[in-house]
Amino acid sequence: MTAPLHLGVRAHDFGRLPLPELTAKLSRYRFSHIQLAVHKSFPESVPALTALSPGTAAYFGEAFRQAGVRIAVLGCYVNIADPDPAKRQLALNAFSTHLRLARDFGASLVGTETGSVGNGYTPENFTEEAFQQVVVSVQAMVAEAERFGVTVGIEAGINHPLYTAQLAHRLLTLIPSNNLQIILDCANLMTGDNYRQQDAVIGEALELLGDRIAVLHLKDFTVNDGQIGIVPVGQGLLHFAPLLQYMKYKRPHIQGILESTPEDYMQSSIDFLQRLYDEV
């Protein structure tokens, strides 16, 4: 019997809603899990990333458990590549707080991108020095995760020091701990130069990262004047078939998380993915 498609969503893609309204929407769309950046969705409960307490985590964790929704990714997207050591340490401290409280949320994976050396586009992100700073930061994060029995999820992206699947694989090789996993977002790997070869880009990512992929972000894109733009799932150019084949046959039951799909498109995006999943 074929495993079902497990779809979730980033909670903050619904905007800031009272908790009962959010759980009602998750039930309406039959999402089995979420990515929760609690500071983004509920800033009144978490005025700062370091303001989390065991009580905060237990409150939200129990609410989602009762709603039948798992927290697949506890989001703490901070800049671990910040060139300012003091700011970088604050980012690591915030991430450590999420690692320590992940179990109280009912989560086992805390996710982030690497951040950026500067604001906006900068070629400094593509240097060996920037990559090595990410390695140092992730080593500290993984050591903390191992203490608490949870997992660090790192997401690669264009204009970050971790901008290709090859670099993500290199990071995994340099930090060979199973407490380090990858959040794969193939739209994040697309550029105006490589999107026409996206089957090769996606295939390489799945091959290189393999069973170190913990969860997939499902996001779509288009290209205008050579620039990548994000659009609702099913409205753009991303080839989802190889991702859904991977989810269906290579990693049954792996969780997929819709990203950057407005609610007006939510049901059509879900239907698009389910139809394609059934066909592959």
| Dist CA 72 CA 78 (whole Å) | 18
Secondary structure in 3-state letters for 114-148: CCCCCCCCCHHHHCHHHHHHHHHHHHHHHHHHHHH
Contact between residue 201 and residue 168 where contact means Cβ atoms under 8 Å apart? no
Question: What domain count does the chain have?
Answer: 1
The CATH number assigned to the domain holding 31 equals: 3.20.20.150
Q: State the Cα torsion 169-32-77-226 to the nearest 10°.
A: 70
Is residue 109 situated within a structural domain? yes
DSSP-derived letter for residue 106 is T
pLDDT given at position 120:
78
pLDDT digits 0-9 by tens, 97-132: 999 999 999 999 999 999 999 887 899 999 999 999
**Which stretches of 11-87 are assigned E, i.e. beta strand?**
33-36, 70-75
Classify residue 99 by burial, with Cβ atoms within 10 Å: 0-12, 13-18, 19+. buried
Is residue 19 situated within a structural domain? yes
Is residue 54 situated within a structural domain? yes
| Dist CA 256 CA 33 (whole Å) | 9
Is residue 171 situated within a structural domain? yes
Is residue 68 situated within a structural domain? yes
Is residue 1 situated within a structural domain? no
Q: Tens-digit pLDDT profile for the chain (280 aa)? A: 899 999 999 999 999 999 999 999 999 999 999 999 999 999 999 998 888 999 999 999 999 999 999 999 999 999 999 999 999 999 999 999 999 999 999 999 999 999 999 887 899 999 999 999 999 999 999 999 999 999 999 999 999 999 999 999 999 999 999 999 999 999 999 999 999 999 999 999 999 999 999 999 999 999 999 999 999 999 999 999 999 999 999 999 999 999 999 999 999 999 999 999 999 9
pLDDT given at position 50:
82
pLDDT given at position 198:
98
CA terminus-to-terminus distance, the chain: 15
Enclosing domain of residue 33? 6-279
pLDDT given at position 130:
97
pLDDT digits 0-9 by tens, 246-258: 999 999 999 999 9
